[in-house]
Structure 1
Amino acid sequence: YFMKKNYAFTKKKWFAWLGSGVLPIKDRLFPKIVLAGALFIFGLTLYTNQVFHGGVWGTLHNKSVKPKLEITEGKIDHNGLSFDVYRTEGVDVYGAWMIDITLTDAQGDTVINYQQDDLASMDKNLIDNYYIAKVKPGAHSLIIPLGAKANINFKDEVLMNLPKGEYTLKITDISGANWDHSITK
């Protein structure tokens, strides 16, 4: 557009670098500049691979291999048990499959336990998703895709009559990974 309008600054050397046109480089220097750019990009690729995954030397720490959940806002009240779950890491092409959610008291006794079939048949209205990626019941478990954050509610008469105290919420993935969250009633 600027070249068609014949603005004076389009004739400057810097415009060829930022805008369009023939680069002001001698033909014999061009291969050296291309090689230097390619080596810079190659080095940057290796550097980021090492920093984020330990993939050049040292122990590989690929965070996209196994899921990671964050559990927050846990509470037990007259409405039942509610908590926020947020999947922050793991394989992005499919969800983490939660096959067990257990609430235990301070002595380690199980208060409630929702297993695979219970989670697969969970009422969708008890899940309040915050983002486009949705936590939802699947065919065999509760599915939590990468980047999904939701408030999950469980209604149970046992929860309404619980004494005050410390409780632990434990969520287990099909891989065997589990996450704990302490809740004070």
Structure 2
Amino acid sequence: MTDVETKRGRVRRLLIDPLASGYGGMGFRFPKGTDEKKQRSYLDWMADWLGYLGDEELKRLRACLSAHGDGAKRCFWPPRATVVFFAQAARPRPIETWPECASWFASIEGPKAREEGTLVATMRFIERNIRPPYTPKDRRDVAQEAANLARRDVEARERVARGRAYPDDAQFVAWYQQLTERAEALIGDGRQAGAA
């Protein structure tokens, strides 16, 4: 029987352990006097929170964090905000794992975005920015991306149907369909919220 590595174990192996053992000469540690429970809690949070990243993304994150330690000697574990910032740069966290952001779709806003044709673009905006599109500029950007995605989807589907597809057309159509299904699943009871 083979051992199966957990997401938490993979994050520890590729990110936490190398940073703690001196990757890049850092040897991250906690400030003297930090409660062991707080230390364990921070590292557990990191292992759980970063589990969505792939191996190569974790290695890139390790390189970024190694240069952003906290304290005068930059040898302490960085604040959570720093970890989140660089993790988002490596790959935005899927919205399904952010209940605070995903709940926006279950409100009246989800069905509204579907009706406006901006559902996928809105989901992508929230994943990238960790907030809904509140400002007029945000909404313009979302509308523009939605129009571009919809146009490309229609064009790619037409080329595939005619047998004249570009090499990435089928891949784009599948990717866009998957995003659409993810966004629709987030709406959940939003239809009821909109009716209330």
TM-score range, shorter chain: under 0.3
Bigger radius of gyration, 1 or 2?
Answer: 1
Which structure shows the bigger proportion of residues in helix conformation? 2
Which structure shows the bigger proportion of residues in strand conformation? 1
TM-score (norm 1): 0.19
TM-score (norm 2): 0.19
